[in-house]
Structure 1
Amino acid sequence: MTSDAVNSGAVTSGAVTGGFVPPPYPYDRLKDLSALILERHDEVVDLSIGTPFDPPPPAVIAALSTSGTERSYPPSVGTPPLLAAARAWMLRRWNVDVPTAQIGATIGSKEMVASLPHFLRLRRPDRDTVLYPSISYPSYEMGATLAGARAVPVPFGPDGRLDLASIDPDDARRALLLWVNSPGNPTGQLDDLGAAAQWGRAAGVPVFSDECYIEFTWNGRGRTILEHGTDGVVAVHSLSKRSNLAGVRVGFYAGDAELVDYLREIRKHAGMMVPGPAQAAAVAALDDDDHVETQRNRYRGRLELLADVIEAWSGQPVTRPEGGFYLWIPVADGWEFATQLALDGGALVSPGEFYGPDGSGFVRVAVVQPDEKIAVVAERLSAR
């Protein structure tokens, strides 16, 4: 290669070596099971991914299509109506009042999870560690990896809550943040958010609470970490699950004044903007609680039906979750159980190893398909 080619950044041939190689996306590993289902059944009932299939309210669709906001760049921090609607929703539903200056919009919650460690490393270059639940949504770990940070899992204690006392003091000193998730994905557990907030303040570690399933809390009322004050904590919310708007990509975060202000400013520079029509749809969705109650009833019924059917089919107990819309079933071998469920029920579910090594003895069943699809699986399994 000539010096001119080097200076111009030209590439002649050969692959880049030594860089980050993305691992296989977990759900792409289920293609073989999908093919296996179609050898025996006329359709795949996909219960592997927590993507909503039920319709959003008509008023939300109308707001999405008639706002006229597609013409201009939307504010990255969120439109005033969106921030006001988020504030009103938190006050109405969870009895916490957070000023709109302490709320910011996100392009759904997944991008927030994935990008947050990178932004926090810019804020605190002396720290390099992300603490997250050992059985959890894969993006907590991947967000750390993409930021070049250490991903350190926190185990659960015998009570099913995060064992905060097990965190190594050196990891705490190096921590950019601690993720908590309640109700949890995939386990459905309800964590002690007050204890997490207290631990974070004592350790000087920001605590980010992923609360996207808060509306689907089955044991008691929904709880937010913001009940325990905003100092050092940020709650992350999503319209994807609550209002069946996963394809619209809109959510928000709220909490600690300094952290939220920093994130609002840095996200402006990164060009992270929720499209204007999506923000208008979110306002309509946040202002309406009736459709959420309808969705709660759907998910609760599907959880009970599939739990009963899988118990009868497998001959083992299936614990109902404390929250969320997943069944988290202990099994001898996750892949073997998923394969048998595919063969007998035509259902595609996720082996627990997708959610960390500690989940390898489980499968996750997402009860997201419409009632008629859930009924097809139930009928197939009941016939066995």
Structure 2
Amino acid sequence: MNASLSLLHPYPFEKLNALFKDITPADLPLIPLSIGEPKHPAPAFVKQAIVEHFNHLSTYPNSKGLPELRDSIANWLQRRFKLNQISADSQILPVTGTREGIFSFVQALINRDEAPYVVMPNPFYQIYEGAALLAGAKPYFINCTAENDYLGDFDAVPAEVWEKTALLFVCTPGNPTGAVLSKEKFKKLIELSDQYNFVIASDECYSELWFDQSPVGLLEVCAEIGRDDYKNCIVFHSLSKRSNLPGMRSGFVAGDAALLKPYLQFRTYHGAAMPVQHQLASIYAWNDEVHVEENRQQYRAKFDMFQSELGGLLPLQKPDAGFYYWLQVDNDEAFAKMLMEKAHIKVLPGRYLSRDTATGNPGENHVRMALVADLTQCEQVVARLKKIL
């Protein structure tokens, strides 16, 4: 087997299962707030579109995707991020969920012989690290802490690291912190990319879950500065969070055509093309904003309720966007075990989402709470937490 497999850490939920192994939970229905799996209903019109196009089960999908799907994504990107232009033919590729896309893009990008750095936030989405390790790269972590507003200090990265960097991951809105990068931060990263010739991959899967102001995106900043070729800039988007369709595995990667052309060749061999009926259903989702705003309203209501009902019992800090609380506690593992034992509520210790560094583990003594359950279940969470806190 690939020797790099031995470098992979156990996935966070494996660690969580081990933590709860000897716990007898309260005699209440389990409410999972540990995994970012939306539980709001999927749009009925998308489900109907899949049914109507089931005849395509006998059709091999094309790796490049249907032109109609790429056109709908291009139109959405231009509406949402005020782009000057984007080519549906050369600057957009559908992927079977951004998890697959992120992983495979790293495999296609990294020159293993150079053993470069892949720079990423800490805490982070675990696929960034796993993809880097299996591609023969070395992860370099930028700690995201309260002191830097959970955005990371890019100035603290040594020049010798940037010089050996092939790829920088950013996640905005952040998983798990909910922090949003500003236009100024993005412009600074683009300048660094030009100086050191690395690729910026912006994971923007939570971009449509916002409260007051829509988050800025990497391509939007490129458009503002006239970088319409999106040189060395790539974004990932998904219908999983935006449209409550995690099981459809529908997303896309967009940006620099010079990067996407060889990546398409990789995908052709990789064999991860999206089923045709899912592509056709995805067009309906990208073309509609009504269900997205309804989705936002549901999350707003839940966060407002948590702030109002639990703000005096827990140090709740409403995120900039997304659906996670990144809650500071005295001991993240002890807090998670207490909630499981006394309230049968599952949350994720922050240390499982981050790595130890010379300045500590930035996820330690935080827990991630995903407000993905419906409003009724969230009301039960509030009642149980009030009782035990």
**Range that drifts further, 223-232 or 183-192:** 223-232
- Corresponding residue number in structure 2 for 1:224: 217
Alignment of 1:164-179 (within 5 A): 164-179=154-169
Distance 1:222 1:17, change over 3 A: closer
Q: CA RMSD in A?
A: 2.1
Any conservation in 1 of the 2:34–2:369 contact (CA below 8 Å)?
Answer: yes
- Corresponding residue number in structure 2 for 1:4: none
Alignment of 1:244-323 (within 5 A): 244-312=244-312, 315-323=313-321
Say whether 1:108 aligns with 2:91: no
Aligned length in residues: 366
Alignment of 1:346-365 (within 5 A): 346-356=344-354, 357-365=361-369
Any conservation in 1 of the 2:302–2:375 contact (CA below 8 Å)?
Answer: yes
Q: Quick one: which of 326, 330, 333 aligns to 1:332?
A: 330
In 2, distance between residues paired with 1:198 and 1:125? 26
Any conservation in 2 of the 1:47–1:369 contact (CA below 8 Å)?
Answer: yes
Any conservation in 2 of the 1:164–1:199 contact (CA below 8 Å)?
Answer: no
In 2, distance between residues paired with 1:173 and 1:243? 39
- Corresponding residue number in structure 2 for 1:208: 201
In 1, distance between residues paired with 2:160 and 2:325? 35
Any conservation in 2 of the 1:37–1:43 contact (CA below 8 Å)?
Answer: no
- Corresponding residue number in structure 2 for 1:20: 5
Q: Quick one: which of 67, 88, 91 aligns to 1:80?
A: 67
Distance 1:221 1:172, change over 3 A: same
Runs (5+) with no aligned partner, structure 1: 1-15
In 2, distance between residues paired with 1:190 and 1:377? 27
In the TM superposition, residue 250 of structure 1 has moved relative to its aligned partner by: 1.0
Distance 1:375 1:280, change over 3 A: same
In 1, distance between residues paired with 2:347 and 2:257? 40
* TM-score normalised by L of structure 1: 0.89
Any conservation in 1 of the 2:123–2:176 contact (CA below 8 Å)?
Answer: yes
- Corresponding residue number in structure 2 for 1:377: 381
Distance 1:53 1:38, change over 3 A: farther
Name the SS of the counterpart of 1:152 in structure 2: strand
Any conservation in 2 of the 1:130–1:150 contact (CA below 8 Å)?
Answer: yes
Say whether 1:161 aligns with 2:151: yes
In the TM superposition, residue 28 of structure 1 has moved relative to its aligned partner by: 2.3
In 2, distance between residues paired with 1:154 and 1:102? 29
Distance 1:126 1:32, change over 3 A: closer
In the TM superposition, residue 222 of structure 1 has moved relative to its aligned partner by: 2.4
**Range that drifts further, 198-207 or 33-42:** 33-42
In 2, distance between residues paired with 1:221 and 1:202? 29
- Corresponding residue number in structure 2 for 1:70: 57
In the TM superposition, residue 219 of structure 1 has moved relative to its aligned partner by: 4.8
**Range that drifts further, 88-97 or 180-189:** 88-97
Any conservation in 2 of the 1:303–1:326 contact (CA below 8 Å)?
Answer: no
Any conservation in 2 of the 1:182–1:188 contact (CA below 8 Å)?
Answer: yes
In 1, distance between residues paired with 2:341 and 2:161? 44
In 2, distance between residues paired with 1:73 and 1:56? 25
Distance 1:302 1:344, change over 3 A: farther
In 1, distance between residues paired with 2:300 and 2:2? 49
Distance 1:317 1:363, change over 3 A: same
Matched letter for residue 232 of structure 2:
G
- Corresponding residue number in structure 1 for 2:26: 40
In 2, distance between residues paired with 1:184 and 1:17? 31
Rg larger in 1 or in 2? 1
In 1, distance between residues paired with 2:129 and 2:96? 19
In 2, distance between residues paired with 1:288 and 1:331? 40
Any conservation in 1 of the 2:25–2:343 contact (CA below 8 Å)?
Answer: no
**Range that drifts further, 140-149 or 243-252:** 140-149
Distance 1:104 1:78, change over 3 A: same
**Range that drifts further, 64-73 or 300-309:** 300-309
Runs (5+) with no aligned partner, structure 2: 223-229, 355-360
In 1, distance between residues paired with 2:149 and 2:387? 37
In the TM superposition, residue 125 of structure 1 has moved relative to its aligned partner by: 4.3
Matched letter for residue 243 of structure 2:
S
Percent of pairs with identical residues: 31
In 1, distance between residues paired with 2:97 and 2:339? 31
In the TM superposition, residue 280 of structure 1 has moved relative to its aligned partner by: 1.3
